[in-house]
Structure 1
């Protein structure tokens, strides 16, 4: 994989040597993280003020809520997906987890903020979901008689009421958040205890903490897949009450891994400009993380295309309209851009060996992938609503720009809290068998 030699340190006289690097005494996050947090708060406040403009028209308010859902789902993906990737690392092992563990842990600790951000969605849910607007059989019958619902929508609302009702969804999301909070609490707690272990650095200590984390993570991944499937169905699939897909949960699972890896790698490369990450982020590990990202990009492509191919070839009248709404009336342009932004560009870039070694290029790509994920969520959300189905109208539709200002405000607020959590503990894991390995001299450039 690598070739050439690299000087990785200097002795007391300034002479270069090829021995292992030494971690600095201070392993806390660099002071610049506080600056990043301040900038994120400023962006959040600025875009929140810009979003107020859309509150003066009914269409603008509707788009504000849809944009808010987009921002919430992206941030939920960072927190929940961060937990899932953290558990995956404990189960699979590998040096990549040593670099991403603290960022992933910080993502999981943002869940309390997401609980608060979920409240407006439930409070104003009737403007998003039919199940929140028509909460009883009588309400459905009256809406059907008034031609506010189609026969298919009325039947789906009645049939799915056990799962899709305000009370049911609140209970389900409480369980989802509870799981993320509980599993995140234990993994974060044990991570600190692991570094403080008096037997730190011994095989006995390594094995004790490895087995303990594996035991909770193995079953945790399975539970999280179920929890995520429930949340994705409740909040996104149910925007079109008549549509369903058997791979929906897996699509969101892989999509979360796609976005979480992008944010984790972006964070690591940014931190690598300063100590202590400057010491531990070698080009070898950066290259490996790039390959890992490529795997998620390819899996994302595979699942999305498999869903499309199966539904399109079956030609089922209950499922085909979902894709027709995203290909007619100008939506084909958005669909094409989504394919290029979300898959083609990351795939082509990550195929390049030199690209994965370049920190500047990887910073751009990871930022681009987060944008592409947000763009994909727009493609998933907006065509579900009357007036937008198969009819992308930008001219005269000022409210649609709330899809820019509102998500940016939500994501920036979440990012500020994420950076706060990142500063809350040392950013380097000590009690891990890969720590010594990652400090060794590398032969890559």
Structure 2
């Protein structure tokens, strides 16, 4: 048994390596290509612009998940502690600072009289009784619109959205500001900063859970006005952590090719992050399957149409692949101890997980519409689900990459710095 006791110290320069600017340039180039493709598809396909708007909603929800999911995971780390948090803290902070771009992504979704009416029946037919009389909606839809009108109306939609974004902006500001102040503290008062971040994050996690549920209901669940689910917000919360973890691990693997992450990213912490991915993979599938099992066993005519829309008309193939991408592949691969400790293999699993989040969001959104429910068919317009989210995610990635370069990548006044610089024991 051989041991290595080489002492490590943090490098003098803690800024992001120069190749991060290359990530940003490549992301901008890819975003430009997808943008042109999305516009061309909008003109070529008869239903192209309808799919363009639906695909924009999908891209917004994915980028929102990375941004605000990063904030939720950051607060969770402050509450739980652990030296693995030192690795992911600055990438998560960079994710939170993309909130202005995510808000710009939201605006086309919430435009009065255009996007809202195109996407949501409750906005298109505020007088549900008249719409039912004209055979524009069915009786179940009319009943749901009438009873949910105090919540599902454009005014309430905008009030809730503005409140959510304002609360997230406040938390983003405080988390990032205090992080820099903590590093600038000449005599680091560990208990003071620990209590301060815990107090902020404790209420913040609760507030985010509530506001995320509101966003999930307004932006996705209400696409089918008759659908309701008490676990919907929690599924989104876990799904966001699932995607954010995959992205932050990919970021760290890329950054570990150079200093300063090369020094502090030990195999031990990498393995811990891989185990955390496995935990969220299991929790993700547990929630999804439990919701399906309860509704299937109940066999209620009010609940099963939502699933029937997503498993009939060849949608069953998409649902099966969603199961494969979202759970089967990550779960089986992450069971391997060696895989979690080899960067290249772990990166492949993380890519699968991010792709699975996009696939799942498509499966959640597209079957809500009359032309797609129980009727999966290929059209030029449906390619918008590749082009538009591809553009939005690429531009978000470029902004995220830029944010990584604006601050040091290591929080120097963290009490775990000394521990994470300790040499690992290499076993032969």
Whether 1:127 aligns to 2:109 is: no
Aligned length: 423
For residues 246 and 135 of structure 2, the distance between their equivalents in structure 1, rounded to whole angstroms, comes to 45
Alpha-carbon deviations, 1:262-320, whole Å to 9, x = none?
01111011100011100000011000000011000000011001100111111111110
Aligned to 1:266, which of 250, 255, 262? Answer: 250
Report if aligned partners of 1:283, 1:444 keep a CA contact under 8 Å in 2.
no
**Contact 1:284–1:444, Cα closer than 8 Å, also in 2:** no
- Distance apart, 1:346 and its partner CA: 0.4
Counterpart position of 2:132: 144
Q: Indicate which of 150, 154, 173 corresponds to 1:185.
A: 173
1:306-317 matches, cutoff 5 A: 306-317=290-301
In the TM superposition, what whole-angstrom CA distance separates every residue of 1:236-287 from its partner, at most 9, and x where no partner exists?
Answer: 1001000111100000000000000001111011100011100000011000
TM-aligned CA deviation for residue 363 of structure 1:
1.1
Q: Shift in Å at residue 444 of structure 1?
A: 5.0
Counterpart contact for 2:42–2:381, Cα < 8 Å:
no
Task: Kindly indicate whether the alpha-carbon contact (under 8 Å) linking 1:29 and 1:423 is maintained by their aligned counterparts in 2.
Answer: yes
What secondary structure is seen at the aligned counterpart in 2 of 1:433? coil
Check if 1:344 corresponds to 2:331: no
**Match in the other structure for 1:22:** 9
Residue number in structure 2 paired with 1:41: 28
Cα distance, 1:5–1:33 mapped onto 2, change above 3 Å: farther
Match of 1:418 among 385, 400, 404: 400
CA distance in 2, matches of 1:148, 1:405: 31
Q: CA RMSD in A?
A: 1.1
Aligned residue number for residue 442 of structure 1:
424
Structure 2 distance, partners of 1:183, 1:230, is 17
- Which residue, out of 163, 170, 182, partners 1:194? 182
Q: State the alpha-carbon separation in 1 of the partners of residues 294 and 403 from structure 2.
A: 42
Aligned positions of 1:425-436 closer than 5 A: 425-436=407-418
Post-superposition offset of 1:79: 1.1
Distance 2:402 2:49 in 1: 31
Distance 2:186 2:10 in 1: 19
TM-superposed deviation, 1:132: 2.1
Unaligned 5+ segments in structure 1 are: 8-17
**Which runs of structure 2 are paired with 1:40-79 in the superposition (5 Å)?**
40-56=27-43, 57-79=45-67
Question: CA separation of 1:63/1:22 partners in 2, compared to 1, >3 Å: closer, same or farther?
Answer: same
Give the Cα separation in 1 of the matches to 2:324 and 2:22: 33
Task: Output the TM-score relative to the length of structure 2.
Answer: 0.97
Give the distance between the partners of 2:340 and 2:232, measured in 1 at CA.
30
Question: 1: distance between equivalents of 2:367 and 2:26?
Answer: 33
Deviation readout 1:9-68 (Å, 9 max, x if unpaired) = xxxxxxxxx232111100001111111001101111110001111222441111111111
SS of alignment partner, residue 403 of structure 1: helix
For the residue of structure 1 that corresponds to 2:416, the secondary structure is helix
Is 1:291 paired with 2:275? yes
CA distance, structure 1, for counterparts of residue 68 and residue 2 of structure 2? 40
Distance 1:5 1:22, change over 3 A: farther
Counterpart pick for 1:400 among 382, 404, 414: 382
Distance in 2 between residues matched to 1:49 and 1:6, nearest whole Å:
55
Among residues 239, 245, 259, which one is paired with 2:223 in the alignment?
Answer: 239
Q: Deviations over 1:113-147 (max 9, x none)?
A: 1111111111212111112212x33xx22221221
Distance 2:303 2:105 in 1: 31
Change (3 A) 1:444 1:230: farther
TM-score when normalising by structure 1:
0.93
Task: State the Cα distance separating 1:5 from its structure 2 match.
Answer: 4.8
CA distance in 2, matches of 1:132, 1:100: 41
Question: Among residues 217, 220, 224, which one is paired with 2:204 in the alignment?
Answer: 220
Q: List per-residue Cα deviations over 1:192-249 (Å, max 9, x = no partner).
A: 000100103xxxx111110000001001101110000000000010010001111000
- Asked whether the equivalents of residues 194 and 431 of structure 1 are also in contact (C-alpha less than 8 Å), the reply is yes
Q: Measured at CA, do residues 42 and 311 of structure 1 come closer, stay the same or move farther in structure 2, by a change above 3 Å?
A: same
Of 47-56 and 246-255, more deviation after overlay is shown by 47-56
